[in-house]
Structure 1
Amino acid sequence: MKQVQWSDVYISASAASLAQPESVADAVRQGRCDAQEAELQDYARISVAAEGQTPADMAVAAGRHAMERSGRSDGVELLMHASVGFQGIDHWSPAAYIQNRTIGGRAAAFEVKQASNGALVALNLAAAHVTSGAPSSAVLITTGDAYPLPVFDRYRSDQGTVRADGGAAMLVTRSQGVARLLSTALVGDATHEEIHRAGEQWRTTPGEAGWPVDLRARKEGYLRTDAQPGHAVSQTLIGGNKEALQTALADANTSLDDIEVLVLPNLGRQATDRMFRLTEQGIDFSRTCWDWGRNVGHIGAGDQLAALTHLFETRRVRIGDRIALCGLGSGFTFGCAVLEITAEPDWSPTACLP
C-alpha cells in the first residue's frame, strides 16, 4: 500500500476566538439583509466584533489559547498569519504583531494571502517546514478577519455568504498531537480570476472607488458577458473543489465514505450544496459542520481551523476518525487536508471575546 503523504506531522492544538452573536433574523427585520437570500442561505446567527476588536487581536487570542492547550511555551520557529481583509492599520506587519504577543522569541513571522483558502495553504507550508526540520520543529498558524462598515457590508457586499468576524489558530508539530496530518492538496485555476475585479479600474489608493466593496456587482458584470457564462464559472468552482478533495483522499489512502466529518467553508446552505455537490453525492449536511457554521458565519481564512476546534470541544470526533478540511479562495485556489484523530482532549467550548 502506498504511504500517506505526510507521515510525522501533527496538529498539537487548535483554538478559535469568536465575537458576539448577531441574529440574522434581526438583520432582516432591520432591512440590513435581504429576506429571500436569508431564507436560501439559512444562516441563524453570525459572529460580529465589537468596536475595538481588531482582526489581529482576535488572532492573538486564538494563538495564545492554542499555545496554552498544546502545553508548549517556546521553541516555535515560524508563525504564519492568514487573512482576507484589512487588519486594522495600513502599512504594518500584523504577523509580527501576533508573533510578539503569542510566541515571542526569534521566530520568523509572515502573512499568507490566499483569501479564504489561506489557512489550508498555511497548513501545507507548515507541514513542509516541520518535515524538513528537527524533531522539535513547530509552526503556529493564525487567522483573523472582520467585515465592518463602511468598508464591507457583511450582508450585501457578496452573495451566497454572510461575512463574520473571528480568529482561529493551530499549532503544527512533529511526533504527537490531537490529530495526525495525512495529506494536503492545493489546486489553482485562474481562468475566471477577473470575476472579483470585473468593471473596476486600477486605483492608486484603497477606497478610491467608494465604500462599501461591491463584489456582487463585479460578479454580476462578469457573468453578463457572453464569453463567460455562469455555467463555466460554476464548473470551475465545482471541479476545483472536487479535484482538491479527491487528490487529498487518494494521498491519504482514504475514501469519502471513510470521512467522519467533511469540514467545509461557512458559506450559505444553498452555496455550500452547489459548490460541493452534497445532495448530488448523497452527503447529508449532518456529516458537515453546517449546524455550527450557520451560527458563526464566514470568518474569512479561519473557518476550517475554528470548525476543527469545535469538533474537539464538542467531543464530536473520536480517536481513529478521519476528517477532511476543505477550502477555496478567490482567484481561484482550492485546498483540502485529511486528518486522523489521535486524541480526545478535554477542551472547554470557545467563549465569545469580552
Structure 2
Amino acid sequence: MRFRDGLTISAAVTWLPETTESAYAQVADGLLDPDGPASAGVVEVPVSHDTSAPDMAVLAGRDALSRAGVEAADVGLLLHSWIYHQGHDFWSPAHYVADGVGATAAVPFGVQQMCHAGAMALHTAAVQLTADPSLSTALVTTADRFASAGFDRWRGDYQVAYGDGATAAVLGRSGPGLRLVAHTVHAAPEMESMYRGDDGFSPAPLTHSRPIDIRRTKRAFLEAGGMDRFAKTGPEAVRDVLLRALEEAGLAPEDPRIRCVALPRLGPKVLELMYLPVIRELVRAKPVHFGAHTGHLGCGDIVANLADIVREDLLAPGEFALVLTGGGGFTWSCLVVQQPGDR
C-alpha cells in the first residue's frame, strides 16, 4: 500500500533494561555451544528482572510521545503487540499501556501476528490515519520479557537469541520525522505449523513444554518436509514484498537514494537463507543489521530498526530506507520510509 503524502513517524524509540546477559559468558558457563554467539549473531541481550513487558511498553510510549512533542491525550488510537506472556492470562495489555501513558481518549487494541505483529500494527495505524480524517495521532507499542520461568532465550530456538525490551512509534499526518511512503505484505499461512509442529491443541498455556521448546515444533515441521517448502517460499515472499514496495514507492531498484535495507534481528544463517540473496540481487543499497546487542526483540524489531536509522542519522534529506521483517504464520513485509528534504 502506498500511503498519502504527509504521513509521518514523528518518533520511534527503543526502551531496553540496563541488565544484559553476555553470549560469551553463556559459553564460558557451559550453557551455550561455542558457536552459539555467532549462530545467533549476538554479543549480548538485554534482560529485565523486575520490569514487566507492559510496563516497558509504557516507558517506551511515554518517551516516544515526549520526543514527538505530542500530548498523550491527543492520541486517538493505540496498538500494542507482543509474542509472549504479558504477565496475566486473561487480560488486555493494550488497555493497560494506554492507561499507563495517559492516552485516555485512545481506542486501544492488541495486534498478535507473531514476530510480524509490530509491522502489522504500523500498517494498521497508517491505514486508520489515511481512512479516518478525525484521527490525528496513533501510538504503536511492542514489548516482550522472555523470563526463564517459561522461555529459554538462548536455547529455546535455533539461530536466534531473544532480548527483552519495548519499542514505540508515534504516527501522525504532518510534522517532522520519517515519511511513511509504502508498506507491502505477503502471507503464507500454509507455513503455520512451523510453530505448532505435530502437537495437539492443549487446554492451558505451557502444557506441551516448560520452558517453551520451539526447536521441537521446528523438528516436526522439518520431518514433515516443511523446511524444504519454507526455503522456497520465504525468499519468494521477500522478493515479492521488496519489488512491490519499490513499485508503490515509485523507486527503481538501482535508485541511489535508497540508502539501506534494515534486516530483522535474527542469526546470519536465517538472514542468508531468506533475505540477503534477494537484497543482493535486486538493490544496490547496503543491508544493515542492528541486533548484536539486543538480539531478536520479537515483534519489536521493525520499530527498533526505525529508531536506530534515526539515531545513527543514516538518511540524508531525500534518502530512503527499506525495512524488512517477517514472522511465524508466516507473514513478511517491506516498509519504505524517507527522510524529508529535497529530492
Q: What's the TM-score, normalizing by structure 2?
A: 0.92
Aligned to 2:212: 213
Check if 1:336 corresponds to 2:312. no
Check if 1:163 corresponds to 2:162. yes
- In 2, the alpha carbon distance for the partners of 1:248 and 1:75 equals 31
RMSD: 2.1
Aligned to 1:318: 316
Partner of 1:15: helix, strand, or coil?
strand
1:253 CA displacement:
0.9
1:278 CA displacement:
3.9
Of stretches 134-143 and 266-275 in structure 1, the one that deviates more from structure 2 is 134-143
Equivalent of 1:246, from 220, 243, 247? 243
Structure 1 residue identity aligned to 2:254: D
- In 2, the alpha carbon distance for the partners of 1:189 and 1:293 equals 26
Kindly indicate whether the alpha-carbon contact (under 8 Å) linking 1:123 and 1:141 is maintained by their aligned counterparts in 2: yes
- In 2, the alpha carbon distance for the partners of 1:208 and 1:105 equals 37
Equivalent of 1:301, from 295, 299, 319? 299
Aligned length, in residue pairs: 337
1:249 CA displacement:
1.4
Equivalent of 1:13, from 7, 11, 14? 11
Q: Where in structure 2 are there 5+ consecutive unaligned residues?
A: none
Aligned to 2:52: 54
- In 2, the alpha carbon distance for the partners of 1:283 and 1:165 equals 33
Kindly indicate whether the alpha-carbon contact (under 8 Å) linking 2:259 and 2:314 is maintained by their aligned counterparts in 1: no
1:64 CA displacement:
0.4
C-alpha distance after superposition, 1:28-53 (max 9, x if no partner): 1112222223333331111111x221
1:120 CA displacement:
1.1
Kindly indicate whether the alpha-carbon contact (under 8 Å) linking 1:273 and 1:279 is maintained by their aligned counterparts in 2: no
Partner of 1:261: helix, strand, or coil?
strand
Q: Where in structure 1 are there 5+ consecutive unaligned residues?
A: 344-354
Aligned to 2:221: 222
Partner of 1:281: helix, strand, or coil?
helix
Matched-pair identity in %: 28
- In 2, the alpha carbon distance for the partners of 1:318 and 1:181 equals 16
1:7 CA displacement:
2.3
Structure 1 residue identity aligned to 2:300: G
Structure 1 residue identity aligned to 2:163: A
Check if 1:255 corresponds to 2:248. no
1:342 CA displacement:
2.0
- In 2, the alpha carbon distance for the partners of 1:61 and 1:284 equals 37
1:324 CA displacement:
1.1
Partner of 2:55: helix, strand, or coil?
helix
Aligned to 2:70: 72
- In 1, the alpha carbon distance for the partners of 2:166 and 2:209 equals 27
- In 1, the alpha carbon distance for the partners of 2:279 and 2:179 equals 30
Partner of 1:159: helix, strand, or coil?
coil
C-alpha distance after superposition, 1:12-36 (max 9, x if no partner): 1111101233211111111222222
> Structure 1 residues 97 and 321 mapped into 2: Cα distance closer, same or farther (>3 Å)?
same
Kindly indicate whether the alpha-carbon contact (under 8 Å) linking 2:326 and 2:333 is maintained by their aligned counterparts in 1: yes
Kindly indicate whether the alpha-carbon contact (under 8 Å) linking 2:10 and 2:68 is maintained by their aligned counterparts in 1: yes
- In 2, the alpha carbon distance for the partners of 1:312 and 1:241 equals 24
Aligned to 2:203: 204
Q: What's the TM-score, normalizing by structure 1?
A: 0.89
Aligned to 2:83: 84
Query: Which residues in structure 2 correspond to 1:72-151 (within 5 Å)?
Result: 72-73=70-71, 74-134=73-133, 137-151=136-150
Check if 1:232 corresponds to 2:229. yes
Kindly indicate whether the alpha-carbon contact (under 8 Å) linking 1:76 and 1:103 is maintained by their aligned counterparts in 2: no
Kindly indicate whether the alpha-carbon contact (under 8 Å) linking 1:183 and 1:252 is maintained by their aligned counterparts in 2: yes
Kindly indicate whether the alpha-carbon contact (under 8 Å) linking 1:184 and 1:336 is maintained by their aligned counterparts in 2: yes
- In 2, the alpha carbon distance for the partners of 1:88 and 1:114 equals 18
- In 2, the alpha carbon distance for the partners of 1:263 and 1:164 equals 18
- In 2, the alpha carbon distance for the partners of 1:284 and 1:23 equals 34
1:280 CA displacement:
7.4
